[in-house]
Amino acid sequence: MQFTTTPYTEHQLIEPGGNATGTLPGWMQDQDLLLKFYRTMNLIRVFDKRAIALQRTGQMGTYASCLGQEAIGTAIGCALKTEDVFVPYYRDQAAQFLRGVPLYQLLQYWGGTEWGNHFTGTAREDFPNCVPIATQITHAAGIATAFKIRGQKRAALVTCGDGATSRGDFYEPLNLAGVWQLPMVLVVNNNQWAISVPRALQTGAPTIAQKAMAAGIEGFQVDGNDVCALYEAIRYSLDKAHAGKGATLIEAMSYRLCDHTTADDATRYRSHEEVNAAWLKEPVKRLQTFLHQRGLWDEQKEQQLITDCQQKVEQAVKDFQSQPQQPVDDLFDYLFDTTPPHLIVQRERTKQKAARLAGGNHHGH
Amino acid sequence: MQFTTTPYTEHQLIEPGGNATGTLPGWMQDQDLLLKFYRTMNLIRVFDKRAIALQRTGQMGTYASCLGQEAIGTAIGCALKTEDVFVPYYRDQAAQFLRGVPLYQLLQYWGGTEWGNHFTGTAREDFPNCVPIATQITHAAGIATAFKIRGQKRAALVTCGDGATSRGDFYEPLNLAGVWQLPMVLVVNNNQWAISVPRALQTGAPTIAQKAMAAGIEGFQVDGNDVCALYEAIRYSLDKAHAGKGATLIEAMSYRLCDHTTADDATRYRSHEEVNAAWLKEPVKRLQTFLHQRGLWDEQKEQQLITDCQQKVEQAVKDFQSQPQQPVDDLFDYLFDTTPPHLIVQRERTKQKAARLAGGNHHGH
Amino acid sequence: MGIKETLPNNGNHSTGSEPATHVVTLVEAVNLALARAMEQDENVVVLGEDVGTNGGVFRATAGLKERFGCKRVMDTPLAEALIAGISVGMAAQGLKPVAEIQFMGFAYATFEHIISHAARLRNRTRGRLHCPMVLRTPYGGGIHAPEHHCESTEALFAHIPGLRVVVPSSPTRAYGLLLAAIEDPDPVIFLEPSRIYRMVKQEIRDDGIALPLDTCFTLKAGTDITLISWGACVHETLQAARELDKQGISAEVIDVATLNPIDYATILASVEKTGRCVIIQEAVSHCSVGSEIAAMLAEKGLFFLKAPVGRVNGLDIPMPYFQRENLYMPDVHEIIATAIKTMEYA
Amino acid sequence: MGIKETLPNNGNHSTGSEPATHVVTLVEAVNLALARAMEQDENVVVLGEDVGTNGGVFRATAGLKERFGCKRVMDTPLAEALIAGISVGMAAQGLKPVAEIQFMGFAYATFEHIISHAARLRNRTRGRLHCPMVLRTPYGGGIHAPEHHCESTEALFAHIPGLRVVVPSSPTRAYGLLLAAIEDPDPVIFLEPSRIYRMVKQEIRDDGIALPLDTCFTLKAGTDITLISWGACVHETLQAARELDKQGISAEVIDVATLNPIDYATILASVEKTGRCVIIQEAVSHCSVGSEIAAMLAEKGLFFLKAPVGRVNGLDIPMPYFQRENLYMPDVHEIIATAIKTMEYA
Ligand SMILES: Cc1ncc(C[n+]2csc(CCOP(=O)(O)OP(=O)(O)O)c2C)c(N)n1
Ligand SMILES: Cc1ncc(C[n+]2csc(CCOP(=O)(O)OP(=O)(O)O)c2C)c(N)n1
Ligand SMILES: [Mg+2]
Ligand SMILES: [Mg+2]
């Protein structure tokens, strides 16, 4: 009865055709930044395709593609300050790359070794991919709490999908962020599907952004295929967090152009028409057109970029494939600070097993 | 940015002084109903006081008083249809009583026997008190789902406190109720405290009612000390549920005039001033004044009612105290439909133990 | 419980004609049992993430939505506590919800509802309400999957009074035990070893006949040593038993199948006969189902044990990411070696 | 781990003067240890429901907010998953959160964060991040409380690799073990037996010295039989041991204290010496810590066991509402009877 939603306007700076929707903000004079957006999105798209190929040819495990959602990670990676902490979900390849995680390490993660989470540099305090959906949001609230306790001017930026918004771990930390005024930004990649479940079956709320009201924090929708709009919204939210003015929920409207993961076949549950329509809005082409129009890009640069991306990705694949196998000790020695006696016994036994399996074993699998 | 709350007006029909706030709705012509409200609230207040005394004198276990919150349970109990299912929390004595649970059985529950949950009659499908905060809301959503699957014109009405609104089990089923359009009504007894934690530290949202927006359902605030306003709001919501028009969240603004439970000492964390101020709004006196003004009540009726309530409550205490001890078998025979062999063995052993303990035991406790 | 030769109570399928026979994998047997149960009893409903249009990420519920409609096959929002909790509510209303948790690693969020409510509803209300729900979930390692997709934490469920915990190890047992789980008037946790979802095929008569939930299955008779296992490990255990046979050691193989309550009588009788025992499980050893069985033997079987109870377990670490998961998984070699060592005691 | 004679690293209290001595109950010892840890290390923070102004429903955190401020003693909203999950985030940032769950029966909602994250953060990131958090909760029955306030489900935590599970049984051990739990760089589940919160008082030197987390405590030496217990049951066990002494049976009493990893060496050495053993626990027996210890003895101690491992457990049912809870609780009589039966084997 008493609450109303004014119809939202999705924040947008560049429309799908590549044209500005109005007067552009000053920061968009920064050509280097615009080119960084474009280059990153391209690199990640090339990487993504290659990762799928690696999986298909049995050289890597299940992989979650970010096809069509590159703008989100890119905007996040560019907007974050070094001292912030990034708490990703599994479609944030672009952001992780921009945080300094080398591409080969992303492959290591999907390739089945914990060393794929051993980030260094800017990402050293960032969280690894979180498999149990939405739980990372609670961790981010904890990280933001630590910043607040210490009086640090840092923020925790966390991401999740639209499906994640149905879990307690979405609402509980959001509510905390509201009541404790935490320096936290939550970006929801609303790619319209949670595996086979469409957004409309995930919640009766017409927008995910309005869920912010349950926590008494600010929430809004952004065109998730418009890297510039995203960047602006994220910067606004991070600045707010740094200024001690509380948390923000951003609903980034995107589309999962890929299968859910390499283990999925999306044709079972959604139409070609829908996917084709979504391709018309995808982020890379849009920015390309925009850059072309502004004279910032041309065919030659494009060719150069493609070659460059492919080289980088091939190098990453090589690096991934040439990583030595992790020693048996590693399975035991990172569980506790000091490995307890029972694990030392099991470690020795497992070394023998590893030797046996390496030597060929007729009984084992 | 895009969402706004219009300032809420708490639904109210009778203001704290006992005067109508405007033209009263037609149903309030029903004097019997108004008197039922009043009689029930009084009975429960007498019961409540006696229950606390039983605990204080070691004749019963920890007890959660509903002092000052009698209007909520009363309105619920009067509004529910026989075929609806009630899923209570632990301050719904009035509603449970109106659903046909005898007072002595309420004492049995707090007195430490599972037979206190063995309701019959109208309450036979109702849930027992739920100790793990908020989990009952999810059960209610399941019950409402069953109604929906079967096409039954029934609703599940569930209650919780303001503290409960911080848990995943508040948001997850509310979200489901929105997307599945479930015939469910959630009444939050916002009594301003969750043990020692004030409402302001529970959520940053200015109202709990607005949390409905996260689920895309209707939510509103009602004066929880105005039994008539409550009754109207609940009837409206139940009618909506019966008509297949979805779920409602009702925030009933009340105050916990008592300690949290008999195990608590509220003076540790809140001021006398606050409590005294709240007494000015309490529901029983308010309705009494209203009834007096309308000529529906007088001192003689009041005296008669007090005597009557005390007799009923004393009878309940007697009934409670004369219940035979439950047999040892009961501990084992309700775990599964058919008691499995290992429990039969333990049952026999426990019978011997019971006999030993009954016979006096110098080692035991 | 016993074998219930239940006849369809309100199904549409003709009971006169011979039941169809299918040659199926374990996951297909699950699908068959679900369809049969839904046909026999309109109170049976299926719910979970992606169980509807998508037919489940392992295809265990494939075709059910088309056949029984979206009121009986429900795609839920992504929330495991919700799935478990609404199942409790539905079950209290007399439905028989069969809820799928996509992987066991995501079942922890259901624990509060399973432990504090599903397992206790009947007891708490002295029989007034009860909770005939089934929580199904694929479990176990060896499928080269990401983290959390390979858990074997059955002990956490098995520790809780009021739950039955059931693990099939073949298509036939998956079919019969799942029917039993659904028929059972109390909550059943049904753990499906994903590693053997498509490992072997068996011929199944789709006759709706349930297997008992209160007995172990002796899969191979033997006289020298008892090998006890459940789930996917049963396969390595059987393989080991065959190898041991060749070496002149006659191993009896028991599939525990129901992990709580356990059919101790069958296990004790076997160990009394053989005097030796090896327990094989994929789970970590500490406070596990394997510990329970060994403890029971230490308490009740001490005087017929000729050798210490041998144990082949997973390691006491989280399942390693898949490059190294084979180091974690118990293998045939280890079972044989442990059995031989157990035989060496005089 | 070993005893760490840690000196205050950044506390304000003078290290030169003698530490104060207090005669305190177990819950007061918890309070002392929390205050000491917070004084020694500014990274230690306390959070939970009602831990601030109210000082905890059992008063375990009384006075801490007044002393250390509301940034280090945080009343959280009512959400257990949240409490556990933000503790993981805080711990990864180098804080040392000590989170209180009001009663163990409300800890199930924390399981996903504890099992899937707290226990794995170090391993998952190969040491890059780690999780020095403590989850404290009162546990156990016998306090005439409502449902869910009397759980003994320590086995659920003990089954999980990567967690330490610690149970004190006296004020002194509560003080020393809680300090150790907080100092420990990995997650520790700290279970406080509420039945003995105020049972006895002991003199404690508030010296900030932690006890080891890797050893059992032998509380009474004996030669004929080993009685193994932890938590509140240690009291009945000691009482039983004294009674047995009178009857000429010399019982050794071991307080396991840390339930994972368990100090098997001490237990094995004792049982090797006595040849007999009774395990006493309040928990249900199925897949419990008691099962684990009995299983370990069946595996490693078979040849010095002169009698079956005796067990005194809670019943395999949920804790009855309090009118009948005494039927559930193991008592001195049962311990003595089981010990005597164990002694009767030749
Ligand atoms: C707690 C939990 N439940 C289930 C899963 C299995 N699962 C993995 S991804 C996914 C869908 C997630 O959808 P969404 O949040 O929209 O993210 P998207 O994959 O679309 O980017 C599911 C159900 C999981 N990983 N964790
Ligand atoms: C899951 C869970 N956590 C903690 C508790 C302990 N507890 C009992 S009542 C309560 C406060 C509840 O506050 P609120 O929801 O506002 O209800 P009120 O008691 O004020 O009516 C708490 C923390 C519990 N019962 N369940
Ligand atoms: Mg999605
Ligand atoms: Mg309240």
Summarised one tens digit per residue, pLDDT across range A47-66 is 999 999 999 999 999 999 99
| Rounded Cα–Cα distance for residues B365 and D332 (Å) | 8
Task: Please determine, for the modelled complex, whether the ipTM score is greater than 0.95.
Answer: yes
| Rounded Cα–Cα distance for residues C300 and C310 (Å) | 16
Contact B341/C261 with Cβ under 8 angstroms?
A: yes
| Rounded Cα–Cα distance for residues A55 and C182 (Å) | 38
| Rounded Cα–Cα distance for residues B297 and B301 (Å) | 6
* Residue A249 backbone phi and psi in degrees, to 5: -110, 125
Active site residues of D: 149
| pLDDT surpassing 60 at residue A310 | yes
CB-count exposure of residue D46 (10 Å: 0-12, 13-18, 19+): buried
Which chain D residues are within 8 Å of C286, Cβ to Cβ?
A: 158-159, 161, 260, 262, 292
| Rounded Cα–Cα distance for residues D209 and D187 (Å) | 19
CB-count exposure of residue B279 (10 Å: 0-12, 13-18, 19+): exposed
Q: With respect to CATH, is domain C19-205 assigned 3.30.390.50? A: no
**Which candidate, A134, B117, D117, D105, places its Cα nearest to that of C82?**
A134
Name the residue in chain D with its Cα closest to that of B260. D57
Q: Where are the alpha helices (DSSP H) in chain B?
A: 31-56, 70-79, 93-98, 103-110, 135-150, 168-179, 227-242, 272-279, 283-293, 299-321, 330-333, 341-358
| Rounded Cα–Cα distance for residues C219 and C253 (Å) | 5
| Rounded Cα–Cα distance for residues B364 and D210 (Å) | 34
Candidates C64, C321, C327: best to mutate against A (most CBs of A within 10 A) is: C321
Q: How far is A100 from chain C (nearest CA, A)?
A: 23
**Torsion over CA of A165, A171, A172 and A178, rounded to 10 degrees?**
130
The domain locations on chain A are 10-321, 327-365
Q: Which residues contact A16 (CB under 8 A, 6 or more apart)?
A: A225, A280, A281, A286
Summarised one tens digit per residue, pLDDT across range B177-223 is 999 999 999 999 999 999 999 999 999 999 999 999 999 999 999 99
Q: How far from A298 is each of A16, A304, B252, CA to CA, in Å?
A: 19, 10, 63
CB-count exposure of residue C322 (10 Å: 0-12, 13-18, 19+): buried
Structure tokens at C174: 């998956």
| Rounded Cα–Cα distance for residues D44 and D71 (Å) | 11
| Rounded Cα–Cα distance for residues D176 and D179 (Å) | 5
Count of CB atoms situated within 10 Å of the CB of B300: 8
In this complex, the chains that touch D, judged by 3 or more CB pairs closer than 8 A, are: A, B, C
Ligand 1 atom at minimal distance to the Cα of residue A89 = 21
**According to CATH, what is the number of the domain D217-343?**
3.40.50.920
State whether residue D326 sits within 8 Å of chain B by CB: yes
Q: Which of A269, A334, A349, A356 is catalytic?
A: A269
Lowest mean pLDDT among A256-270, A329-343, D8-22, D255-269: D8-22
Percent of chain C at pLDDT > 90 equals 93
| Residue D346 pLDDT level (bands cut at 50, 70, 90) | confident
Q: How far from C203 is each of A296, C25, C40, CA to CA, in Å?
A: 67, 9, 21
What are C98's strand-pairing partners? C46, C134
Q: Which of C13, C130, C144, C149 is catalytic?
A: C149
| Residue B8 pLDDT level (bands cut at 50, 70, 90) | low
Which residues are placed with Cβ below 5 angstroms of ligand 4, an ion? B 161-162, 191, 194
DSSP at B14: B
Which chain D residues are within 8 Å of C285, Cβ to Cβ?
A: 292
Which residues of C, range 220-249, sit inside 8 Å of D by Cβ? none
Contact B18/B71 with Cβ under 8 angstroms?
A: no
The domain locations on chain C are 19-205, 217-343
Residue type, D120: R
State whether residue A334 sits within 8 Å of chain D by CB: yes
Contact C121/C92 with Cβ under 8 angstroms?
A: yes
| Rounded Cα–Cα distance for residues D231 and D153 (Å) | 12
Structure tokens at A43: 């690199």
Summarised one tens digit per residue, pLDDT across range A214-254 is 999 999 999 999 999 999 999 999 999 999 999 999 999 99
State whether residue C251 sits within 8 Å of chain B by CB: no
What is the SS3 assignment for A2? coil
Residue type, C166: V
Q: Counting every residue, how long is chain A? A: 365
Helices and strands, counts by H and E, chain D? 12, 14
Contact B353 D315 (CB under 8 A): no
State whether residue C145 sits within 8 Å of chain A by CB: yes
DSSP secondary structure string for all residues of D161-192: TT-EEE---SHHHHHHHHHHHHHSSS-EEEEE
Topology match between the domains C19-205 and C217-343: yes
Which chain B residues are within 8 Å of D85, Cβ to Cβ?
A: none
Residue type, D318: P
Global model pTM greater than 0.90: yes
Candidates B131, B143, B154, B175: best to mutate against C (most CBs of C within 10 A) is: B143
Candidates D113, D159, D322: best to mutate against C (most CBs of C within 10 A) is: D159
Structure tokens at A122: 């800017």
Contact D307/D339 with Cβ under 8 angstroms?
A: no
Contact B171 A209 (CB under 8 A): no
**Computed from CA positions of residues D28, D30, D31, D37, in that sequence, does the dihedral angle turn out positive or negative?**
positive
A·D CB contacts under 8 A: 131
Q: With respect to CATH, is domain B10-321 assigned 3.40.50.970? A: yes
State whether residue A363 sits within 8 Å of chain C by CB: yes
Angle between helix axes D289-300 and C289-300 (nearest 10 degrees) is 60
Nearest CB neighbour to B2, from listed A177, A214, A220 = A220
Residue type, B131: V
| Rounded Cα–Cα distance for residues C318 and C104 (Å) | 14
Render each residue's pLDDT in chain C as its tens digit; 346 residues.
222 333 333 334 445 578 999 999 999 999 999 999 999 999 999 999 999 999 999 999 999 999 999 999 999 999 999 999 999 999 999 999 999 999 999 999 999 999 999 999 999 999 999 999 999 999 999 999 999 999 999 999 999 999 999 999 999 999 999 999 999 999 999 999 999 999 999 999 999 999 999 999 999 999 999 999 999 999 999 999 999 999 999 999 999 999 999 999 999 999 999 999 999 999 999 999 999 999 999 889 988 999 999 999 999 999 999 999 999 999 999 999 999 999 999 7
CA B181 to chain CA centroid, Å, is: 24
* Residue D203 backbone phi and psi in degrees, to 5: -85, 125
B231 catalytically annotated: no
Structure tokens at D178: 């809680």
Summarised one tens digit per residue, pLDDT across range D119-170 is 999 999 999 999 999 999 999 999 999 999 999 999 999 999 999 999 999 9
Which chain A residues are within 8 Å of B216, Cβ to Cβ?
A: 203-206
What is the SS3 assignment for B302? helix
Q: Which residues contact C76 (CB under 8 A, 6 or more apart)?
A: B176, C47, C48, C49, C82, C83, C86
Q: Which residues contact D187 (CB under 8 A, 6 or more apart)?
A: D91, D114, D118, D119, D131, D132, D133, D134, D135, D162, D163, D164
Nearest CB neighbour to C286, from listed D112, D158, D308 = D158
- Which element (helix H / strand E) includes C111? helix C111-113
Which chain D residues are within 8 Å of C119, Cβ to Cβ?
A: 318
| Rounded Cα–Cα distance for residues A39 and A34 (Å) | 9
| pLDDT surpassing 50 at residue A2 | no
CA angle C174, C175, C176 (to 5 degrees): 95
DSSP at A14: B
| Rounded Cα–Cα distance for residues B71 and B81 (Å) | 18
